[in-house]
Amino acid sequence: MATSSTIDPMLPQPYLVREVSKETPDTFTLRLDPGNEARESVFRPGQFSMLWVFGVGELPISISGDPALRDRLIYTVRSVGQATHSLVNQKVGSGVGVRGPFGIGWPVEAARGRDVIVVAGGIGLAPLRPVIYQVLQNRKDYGRLVILYGGRSPRDLLYRKELAKWARIPETQVLITVDYGGIGWRGHVGVVTTLFKYSRLHPARSVAMVCGPEIMMRFVIRELETAGLSRDDIYLSMERNMKCAVGFCGHCQYGPHFICKDGPVFPYERMRPLLEKYEL
């Protein structure tokens, strides 16, 4: 991945698919590495890559792996259309072009000393997983870590083993809910906003990082504001469609902001008008 400023951000770097693992019926995690080349993959939580799938095209995908592991790039991809379908069906050993990392990520460094509230819906946990890794690796630099995660049904939940592991770590609260629970499910049933009443938040010392469908984020923001968080302490990832990823093409421009280079993570205060619009 482009660690040096001499690499053209428009030029995809060759990577190899090393592992494809199934998370849910339609979501897969891919591990890529640069093969024999000695290239380090450096990124910050919340940044994304433009993945070039040969014969299909290019698409933005958040990096979902551990930023401390620089020999690889991890992506969690939900198959929703042609490009994502092709990506999750890549064979081990096949090549994928990678541009990036791009964008401004989550304020993990700025959150040192504070409680971190991660609120994720569906595939939205993928871009937030690097935040969780970083906070847990530097545990004493942060206050409480609260992870609220909502999915459609138990079989649609990502990273279940890791979630269970994180829940056992001191000062870490993990609450999971599903919209539809079968009779065998012993966890919470209800939308992600219903978890707030169990979450013991300390609003004045908390930073919230939220990712999921926009409508879910709007409802979550309402809960966070009711809990007493200031708008400046609420961050969202805006994953609206984009093309060039470097602020040239204007495809993802909104007013003065380019989602690709000024985001995808924004403080809620700046994104408020956008959340009320149907289209960019």
Which residues form the interface with ligand FAD (CB under 6 A)? Answer: 48, 59-62, 76-78, 80-85, 123, 126-127, 239-242, 264
Q: Which of residues 167-206 bind other proteins (CB under 8 A)?
A: 177, 179-183, 185-191, 193-194, 197-198
**Contact flag: residue 22 with other proteins (CB under 8 A):** no
| 48, 100 Cβ separation under 8 angstroms | yes
> Which of 45, 103, 107, 121 lies at the binding interface for other proteins (CB under 8 A)?
121
d(CA 52, CA 4): 20
d(CA 260, CA 251): 9
Among residues 94, 101, 105, 104, the alpha carbon closest in space to that of 7 is found at: 101
Buried b (16+ CB within 10 A) or exposed e, 44-76: bbbbbbbbbbeeeebbbbbbbbbbeeeeebbbb
Residue type, position 72, single letter: R
- Minimum CB separation of residue 152 from other proteins in Å reads 4
Q: Residue 193 touches which of ligand FAD, other proteins, none (CB < 5 to 8 A by kind)?
A: other proteins
- Minimum CB separation of residue 149 from ligand FAD in Å reads 15
d(CA 207, CA 219): 17
Instruction: Specify the residue, 76 or 193, whose C-beta has the smaller distance to ligand FAD.
Output: 76
**Contact flag: residue 54 with other proteins (CB under 8 A):** no
Instruction: Specify the residue, 18 or 243, whose C-beta has the smaller distance to ligand FAD.
Output: 243
- Minimum CB separation of residue 180 from other proteins in Å reads 7
Q: How do beta strands 172-178 and 145-151 pair?
A: parallel
- Minimum CB separation of residue 55 from other proteins in Å reads 22
- Minimum CB separation of residue 164 from other proteins in Å reads 16
Q: How many other CB atoms are found less than 10 A from the CB of residue 30?
A: 24
Using CB under 8 A, list all residues that contact other proteins. 26, 78, 80, 121-122, 151-152, 156, 177, 179-183, 185-191, 193-194, 197-198, 212-213, 215-216, 219
